[in-house]
Structure 1
Amino acid sequence: LAGRISMDRAHAKDVQALRASLASWLGVRVVVDELFAVGNAAIAPVDTAQAQEIIDLIERAILDEPSASLTEGNIIKSGWSEQLDRYREVKNNFDRVLDRYLDEERTKTHIPNLKIRYNRNIGYYIEISRGKLSPVPEHFILRRALVNGDRYTTERLQELEDELVNAEQNIVEEEQRLFIHIRDKLKTYNRFLFAVSAEIAFLDAAASFAHAALLHKWSCPTVDDSTAFSITKGRHPVVEACLPSGEFVPNDAQFESGKTFALVTGPNMAGKSTYLRQNALIALLAQTGSFVPAEQAHIGIIDRIFCRVGASDNLARGESTFLVEMSETAYILRSATARSLVIMDEVGRGTSTADGLAIARAVSEHLLNALHCKTFFATHYHELTRLPHPACKLLCLEVLEREGTVVFLKKIREGASTASYGIHVARLAGVPESVITRARTLLAEGAAAAPLPASEATQRMPPKPAPAAGGLFSGEELIIDELLSLDSDSTTPLAALALLSRWQKALTGGQ
């Protein structure tokens, strides 16, 4: 509201809203003053006398239910302006105005039977009967002479008639002028209004945090200048609020000494994304001074929280889903510091398996070796779990397989997941049973990952991988995976020789 006033965009309803909000704030101020009395210095003292001045000004000048348009009138209260009141009197009680004027003329001219009449042709006029013509004063202007009397007008009567004709327009213009003057007066209180706005915003946030903490049984976190990150029985505040009471499964999140990277694996729909997001939200709430949805939390100061989750594109700018994902990943890798918190979900999924795995591995290594920031990294690339970095810890979501069905327990434990159960999720989504059956057959036979025919395999030979020395994972593991998935029956001798040569160079570092 203060911003609209300062930009000359506020109308009368905005001004009344300002009055109402300031009146409410004065009531809140009583409670705030009690908090100050016990030593609370979170809010700078604000002079409440100026609020009362604004309230008094608006109450005296602006109608309780004013028009929102400056071109319709119905804004200013009666009694605020003598000129406006006179215009309204002319418009609403013109007969009374004429009666007062007629009494004045009778007194001055001593003609008791003066009458003011109206004619459509000549408008308002003063009529004097023929027997009383001798004392007609000089300021009377003859309009028409008749047998029984004459009709006159005066400059004052013409002014009153003009005021009546223009009364509506005069009222609107006068109210507009008065309102702009009042709004300009309110501008002088802008610094005070902005200070009140800041205080109300602070109180609103603090009260909302307190309400949420009491309603959902949040706990007070420990926030200090350390690099600690420990959450006991953390919960996602939004997901928990949407579920029936007691259904949300809480989970711990801890980075022990020397650990900075949590690699989270597990099936689709098991809760990886929820786990990543709840930890980021708990950290955010703790940094802002709120209680957190956890049994206990100890979190050091975090400078920024980076998030790479979900899938979206920007086709209007020619950006595919994968390009958007890589752009966000690039921003994180160039901006994060050792004090940052990073959550990344399914990095590399928008391209081929080989490319995606390579990107996911390289991103993981950069986070571990260069940035050293706290990171939760969820992935379906189980190859990433084989040779963990010393600073990497493995987490997975528990799954219960029973009588051909899969139950997601939503519980985090240390270790690595062995399967993604994508076919099970596809069945839950309603994929036709014939497709599900075929997918299971292909998965059992390993045919789903079979290479292309020889002619295409030769044309699409993957590029030579970079040496893996000193990296997170060894090149031997990738070569073994490629060898196990090779279809020897469809590979030509020339293609086999090319593969052997490439593997040899990869293992010897290109020597």
Structure 2
Amino acid sequence: MGKQTPMMEQYLKIKADYQDAFLFFRLGDFYEMFNDDAINAARELEITLTKRGGSDGIPMCGVPYHAAENYIKTLIDKGYKVAICEQVEDPKTAKGVVKREVVQLVTPGTVMESNMLKEGENNYIASLSHFQDGSYVIVYNDLSTGENNITVISHGWDAVIHELYNQPIKEIVISSNLPEDLQTKLRDRLHVTLSYQDEITFNAEYRNLAENLNDERLMKAFSRLLNYIQHTQKRSLDHLQPANVIELKHYLSLDMYSKRNLELTETIIKKGKHGSLLWVLDQTVTAMGSRLLKKWLERPLLDKKRIENRLNVVDAFYQRFMERDTLRDTLKSVYDLERLAGRIAFGNVNARDLLQLKQSLEKIPELKATLNQFEERQIQTLSTGLKYPKELIDLLNTSIIDNPPISIKEGSIIRDGYNEVLDTYRDASRNGKRWIAALEKKEKQETDIKSLKIGYNRVFGYYIEITKANIHLIPEGRYERKQTLANAERYITPELKEKEQLIIEAEEKSVELEYNLFIEIREKIKEHIPELQYLAEIVSKIDVLQAFATVSEKNNYRRPYFVENKLNIINGRHPVIEQVMKDGSFVPNNVSLDENKNILLITGPNMSGKSTYMRQLALAVIMGQIGCFVPCDEAELIIFDQIFTRIGAADDLVSGQSTFMVEMLEANHAIANATDRSLILLDEIGRGTSTYDGMALAQAIVEYIHNNIQAKTLFSTHYHELTVLEESLEKLKNIHVRAEEFEGNVVFLHQIQEGAADKSYGIHVAKLANLPEALIERASTILQELESSDKPAPTTEKIESGQLSFFVGETEQVKERNKPIPATEEKAIDELKSLNLFEMTPMEAMNALYRLQKQVKM
């Protein structure tokens, strides 16, 4: 590369410190990019790529600085980082190349501009730190609201992935020493931007944020994220809140499989909110409330007292429609206090934002008055927390005009009477303009030139303009020529020049003073940020709880009651499906689980509603444990510590895992982690492999849960042979989804009844899918042939604790032969019996099976 210009040397020196970001390099009215940045930005932003210095020069592209925000958003949405490099000295006074510095590094996890954020969602950046004791510490920060949360994971890497997956994380800050294979797993599983921060020395400036941290691991992990944010943002972080330590044992655990399968916050196929449980429940009217609802959904409670406190408020709101409706109307006028506080601290707030803040705070007395109409202790506590910030509102009322402009650098922001010096400047400016108007009238009269006018522009200042047709009317020596136009001449007088200087000086000083006053006001408001954040917290809770009451009344939900070891739901419904159907045709069903019958083995045809039945139970449990009413006629619920689901078929092609492998991994995750206080939902386990293998696995899993875990379990299957397990497993109960045949067609009644189903009606479902008639007839013939032959039946022999049986019983043909088993086969069987599959990796299990099969075939 040849010798660079001083400007390009400056660019390359700055770029060297920001290799993983696009460098927006300010040149006049544009942000310019060069070399690879230019090539990549031109592709991603679909803008023209040029060259600096002619056809043989370096690649170059740029975007106008006034429109840069939209281009930055595009890059951020695609997971990139953007370093904003500004001119930090006046080009008019600069000696040599204008000094430039990166003033902010915008990353997916640190955006603050409202057009880059989704109102109802948090925008988390997280840090992940690994310690010698094997633990991982995760720190979450939402820079737009100042929220900080910390949690410790002690159960290995899989638990880390499950925890991170369940939060809306856009960026993860890690140590550069984290093993590359783990970094790859983070990228592939979570689809986030990875950033690096090795410095974990705690900055004493943020001592107040760490007051809840008494563990060295937490301090170091928190420091990693704080140092990264400070390094990238390069400005005040006064709105950051003290770190909140989240004890995961206080919340119902939902692994990544369960959150996905239950579609709590987004649907599996469309990856959107519509069709999810969040979509149904979100009757909030503020952005703050919508974000809090999502957080509650992601972390249901385990503490019965806290759950009941929420339910008491919801019940009160439910019973009193008029007061609740008044609350909703008031809340509609409340803007996003959390993010307004963040923008005030960050320095990117404008006068209209402050007006929104004032309008929101003025609604506090109305909210308080409505809450005071309730007698419930929990509602009175909420009312007490709504402190009216009179000092702050008085400041806003006296300082900011009612309809300010967006820009804070062009004046017309501050009220008259707020500042004496500003009033003086304004008076001089206004009087001067009145004097100009009077001068124009006087000159028209004295010269008798009716078209004479006095104008102004930034280059020439004030002038008297007279058309060339009237120049002869000007008294000699009256004016001094200033500018010649095509059809007119412009003049000035010493008197006009003097007034011009006074007016312009007053206007310039007025605009500059207004800007400085606005900055002072913003700094005063910063002192109230903790107060604003606390108000936002209370308002958010009110909004979510009224939303629960609103959706409960609208959809006919009932308050759940929590009991020990017995779950009983009368006429339960699926909250999402009944809303999608809208015609009232959803068939409700009962669910009953207790200490005597804690496993329900569900049989029935495809499309009959087995999966819906299972999901609606899990959703009812989650709704109850976040403090919402439940879609049913009556509900007695157990507080579950964990929910595990294996519902639906899905490949994980990125990780090279088949549908069956995913099924086994999810089943193993449930079996390895569930307790007797957990809820397990397993749908069609074993269908991804051969019939005998699948049936053996399904039976073994049911037996293992029954004998070893004793969790409340719903297990749906098409292996009707498994229904005989009711005879040997005392806590297992058969239920089925009712279906009837009518004139050769199947009618799905979607009703759960006791006992086992007699058939699966798979061919009838194929017929409903309009498969060719000849194909349907052939399938029916084959089915009759298969049903007439002998079928394997599960053994009802009990198994020893901790041992999984994979033997489904001998067929009649084997019994008839009654031949001794060869020694090699007997040895293989003994070895197979000794295997503990749930302590083996999938690859180890496959290798063991291959070796045993080879041994038997010899």
Query: TM-score, length-normalised on structure 1?
Result: 0.72
Q: 1:213 to 1:151 in 2, by over 3 A?
A: closer
Q: 1:366 to 1:82 in 2, by over 3 A?
A: farther
The aligned counterpart of 1:406 is 746
Q: Could you tell me how far apart the structure 1 residues matched to 2:680 and 2:696 are?
A: 20
Residue 59 of structure 1: how far off its partner (Å): 3.6
Q: Which one of 744, 747, 760 corresponds to residue 420 of structure 1?
A: 760
The aligned counterpart of 1:249 is 587
Q: Could you tell me how far apart the structure 2 residues matched to 1:248 and 1:431 are?
A: 27
- Contact (CA 8 Å) 1:90, 1:163: kept in 2 or not? no
Q: 1:437 to 1:3 in 2, by over 3 A?
A: same
The aligned counterpart of 1:480 is 811
The aligned counterpart of 2:615 is 277
Measured against aligned partners, the alpha-carbon deviations of 1:262-295 in whole angstroms (never above 9, x if no partner) come to 1212111111111111111222222233332222
Measured against aligned partners, the alpha-carbon deviations of 1:390-412 in whole angstroms (never above 9, x if no partner) come to 22111110111122111111111
Q: 1:13 to 1:157 in 2, by over 3 A?
A: closer
Tell me if 1:186 matches 2:525: yes
The aligned counterpart of 1:111 is none
The aligned counterpart of 2:553 is 214
Deviates more, 1:173-182 or 1:260-269: 173-182
Q: Could you tell me how far apart the structure 1 residues matched to 2:651 and 2:831 are?
A: 41
Residues 93-132 of structure 1 mapped to structure 2, 5 A cutoff: 94-96=432-434
The aligned counterpart of 2:259 is none
Residue 296 of structure 1: how far off its partner (Å): 1.8
The aligned counterpart of 1:258 is 596
Deviates more, 1:65-74 or 1:377-386: 65-74
Letter in 1 for 2:543: D
Tell me if 1:5 matches 2:341: yes
Q: 1:24 to 1:306 in 2, by over 3 A?
A: farther
Q: Which one of 381, 397, 400 corresponds to residue 737 of structure 2?
A: 397
Q: Could you tell me how far apart the structure 1 residues matched to 2:651 and 2:425 are?
A: 62
- Contact (CA 8 Å) 1:230, 1:254: kept in 2 or not? yes
Q: Which SS does the other structure have where 1:267 is aligned?
A: coil
Q: 1:94 to 1:444 in 2, by over 3 A?
A: farther
Q: Could you tell me how far apart the structure 2 residues matched to 1:356 and 1:83 are?
A: 85
Q: 1:355 to 1:509 in 2, by over 3 A?
A: closer
Q: Could you tell me how far apart the structure 1 residues matched to 2:673 and 2:806 are?
A: 29
Q: 1:72 to 1:152 in 2, by over 3 A?
A: closer
Tell me if 1:22 matches 2:361: yes
- Contact (CA 8 Å) 2:605, 2:760: kept in 1 or not? yes
Tell me if 1:470 matches 2:800: yes
What stretches of structure 2 of length at least 5 have no aligned partner? Answer: 1-336, 440-453, 464-474, 477-481, 483-491, 791-796, 835-858
Letter in 1 for 2:341: I
CA radius of gyration, larger in: 1
Q: Which SS does the other structure have where 2:571 is aligned?
A: strand
What stretches of structure 1 of length at least 5 have no aligned partner? Answer: 102-116, 131-143, 145-149, 451-466, 489-495
Letter in 2 for 1:405: N
The aligned counterpart of 1:163 is 505
- Contact (CA 8 Å) 1:124, 1:157: kept in 2 or not? no
- Contact (CA 8 Å) 2:643, 2:678: kept in 1 or not? yes
Q: 1:118 to 1:322 in 2, by over 3 A?
A: same
Deviates more, 1:496-505 or 1:234-243: 496-505
Q: 1:205 to 1:171 in 2, by over 3 A?
A: same
Residues 438-449 of structure 1 mapped to structure 2, 5 A cutoff: 438-446=778-786
Residue 92 of structure 1: how far off its partner (Å): 7.0
Q: How many residues align?
A: 450
Measured against aligned partners, the alpha-carbon deviations of 1:142-170 in whole angstroms (never above 9, x if no partner) come to xx9xxxxx975899767536537x74xx6
Measured against aligned partners, the alpha-carbon deviations of 1:172-217 in whole angstroms (never above 9, x if no partner) come to 6544433333333222222222222222222222222222333333
Residues 139-178 of structure 1 mapped to structure 2, 5 A cutoff: 159-160=501-502, 162-163=504-505, 167=508, 173-178=512-517
- Contact (CA 8 Å) 2:409, 2:511: kept in 1 or not? yes
Q: Could you tell me how far apart the structure 2 residues matched to 1:26 and 1:421 are?
A: 63
- Contact (CA 8 Å) 2:589, 2:751: kept in 1 or not? yes
Q: Which SS does the other structure have where 2:382 is aligned?
A: coil
The aligned counterpart of 1:339 is 677
Q: Could you tell me how far apart the structure 2 residues matched to 1:438 and 1:298 are?
A: 49
Letter in 2 for 1:2: E
Residue 252 of structure 1: how far off its partner (Å): 1.2
Q: Which SS does the other structure have where 2:384 is aligned?
A: coil
Q: Which one of 574, 589, 594 corresponds to residue 236 of structure 1?
A: 574
- Contact (CA 8 Å) 2:387, 2:535: kept in 1 or not? no
The aligned counterpart of 1:375 is 713
Q: 1:178 to 1:357 in 2, by over 3 A?
A: farther
Q: Which SS does the other structure have where 1:385 is aligned?
A: helix
- Contact (CA 8 Å) 2:386, 2:535: kept in 1 or not? no
Q: Which SS does the other structure have where 1:342 is aligned?
A: strand
Q: 1:393 to 1:499 in 2, by over 3 A?
A: farther
Q: Which SS does the other structure have where 1:19 is aligned?
A: helix
Letter in 1 for 2:554: L
Q: Could you tell me how far apart the structure 2 residues matched to 1:94 and 1:497 are?
A: 118
Q: Could you tell me how far apart the structure 1 residues matched to 2:521 and 2:812 are?
A: 79
Tell me if 1:223 matches 2:562: yes
Query: TM-score, length-normalised on structure 2?
Result: 0.45
Q: Could you tell me how far apart the structure 1 residues matched to 2:413 and 2:698 are?
A: 65
Q: Which SS does the other structure have where 1:291 is aligned?
A: coil
Cα RMSD of the aligned pairs, angstroms, is 4.6
Measured against aligned partners, the alpha-carbon deviations of 1:437-469 in whole angstroms (never above 9, x if no partner) come to 33223322339x99xxxxxxxxxxxxxxxx984
The aligned counterpart of 1:204 is 543
Deviates more, 1:311-320 or 1:196-205: 311-320
Q: Could you tell me how far apart the structure 2 residues matched to 1:75 and 1:433 are?
A: 77
Residue 428 of structure 1: how far off its partner (Å): 1.7
Letter in 1 for 2:568: S
Q: 1:73 to 1:42 in 2, by over 3 A?
A: same
Residue 345 of structure 1: how far off its partner (Å): 2.0
Q: Could you tell me how far apart the structure 2 residues matched to 1:479 and 1:68 are?
A: 81
Q: Could you tell me how far apart the structure 2 residues matched to 1:357 and 1:72 are?
A: 76
Residue 231 of structure 1: how far off its partner (Å): 1.3
Q: Could you tell me how far apart the structure 1 residues matched to 2:500 and 2:625 are?
A: 74
Q: Which one of 397, 416, 437 corresponds to residue 777 of structure 2?
A: 437
Q: What is the percentage of aligned positions where both structures have the same residue?
A: 36
Q: Which SS does the other structure have where 1:446 is aligned?
A: helix
Letter in 2 for 1:477: V
Q: 1:510 to 1:47 in 2, by over 3 A?
A: closer
The aligned counterpart of 1:135 is none
Measured against aligned partners, the alpha-carbon deviations of 1:290-331 in whole angstroms (never above 9, x if no partner) come to 332222221232223333323344444545444444443333
Residue 420 of structure 1: how far off its partner (Å): 1.9
Q: Could you tell me how far apart the structure 1 residues matched to 2:380 and 2:641 are?
A: 25
Q: 1:316 to 1:501 in 2, by over 3 A?
A: closer
Q: 1:312 to 1:74 in 2, by over 3 A?
A: farther
Q: Which SS does the other structure have where 1:58 is aligned?
A: helix
Measured against aligned partners, the alpha-carbon deviations of 1:94-133 in whole angstroms (never above 9, x if no partner) come to 53366999xxxxxxxxxxxxxxx999998669xxx99xxx
